[in-house]
Amino acid sequence: MRKFVLVSLLIVVLALASCRGAGNPTPTPTQAEPAKTAEVQEAQPTQPQVQATDSQAYPYPSPQAFKTRTPRTYPEPQNNVAISTATPIVVPTAGKDTGVVTGVLINTETGEPMAYQSVYLGMRIYLTPGPGYTYALQEASSPHAITAEDGEFAIGDVPPGDYILMIFTPFGASVVMQPNTDRELDVKVAAGQVLDVGTLEAVQPELR
C-alpha cells in the first residue's frame, strides 16, 4: 500500500513537471555579445579648397599693376624782381630850436647797406694840453637813431652845433669819414633845418 502511494505521488510530480514545461518553457541562457564600440576617428584639420580660375592660377590674390601717378605741374619760373621790403624812414620835422640829420650808410668792405646800426652824433673833445682831440658820446643822451634795412637813418631833435657822425655798438665805435679823405665828416646842424649828408661809406666797429 505504501509503495503504491509513493509511486502515485511520483507520477503526479512528473505530470506536474511536464505540464509546467509545456506552459512556461525555461529560457535557454544565451551569452550576450559585447556591444561594438564605434571607432573614433581622429579629426583631421581641413584645409580650404580653393579652386583656381582662369585669371587666378593659385589661391592668392593676383598681382595688380601699380597705378601711374599723374605728374604734378608747377608754374613756369618767373623773372625774380628785387622788391624792397624795407620800411621807409619817416623824417621828423625840424623844430624851431632843433634840426634834423638824414643820410644812408654803406659798409666800406662789402658794399652792403649797414642795416640796424646805431648812428650817433658825437662831439670832439680837445685835449689839454694839446694838440689833439678825442671823440665822445653819451649812449643815452647824445642824438642818435637806428638805420633801416637799406641803411637809411634820420636823427631828429638835434640841438644846433658841430658834430661828427659815429657808429656805436656795445663792443666799440667807429667814425664816419668824409668821402675820399682821411678826415672825419663834419656835421653842422642849424635850428629849423634838415641836413642830408647823402650816402656815406662807413667801417663796422671792431670788437675790443
Distances (CA, A) of 204 to 12, 82, 86, 201: 160, 26, 21, 10
| Chain centroid offset of residue 81 CA | 30
Are 91 and 154 within 8 A, CB to CB? Answer: yes
Distance, in Å, from the CA atom of 124 to the CA atom of 98, rounded to the nearest integer, reads 20
- pTM recorded for the entire structure: 0.58
DSSP helix/strand/coil, 5: helix
Task: Report the C-alpha gap between 187 and 194 in whole angstroms.
Answer: 12
CA 189, chain centre distance (Å): 53
List, in sequence order, every residue forming a beta bridge with 200; answer none if it has no partner. 105
Q: What is the pLDDT along the chain (208 residues), one digit of tens a residue?
A: 554 555 556 665 566 555 554 555 555 555 555 555 545 455 555 555 555 555 555 555 666 665 666 677 666 665 554 455 567 788 999 999 999 999 999 999 999 999 999 999 999 999 988 788 999 999 999 999 999 999 999 999 999 999 999 999 988 899 999 988 889 999 999 999 999 999 999 998 876 6
CA–CA separation, 49 vs 112, rounded Å? Answer: 81
Contact 87, 115 (CB under 8 A): no
Query: Grid coordinates 666800406 are at which residue?
Result: 108
Domains and their CATH numbers in the chain: 99-189 (2.60.40)
To which residue does cell 500500500 refer? 1
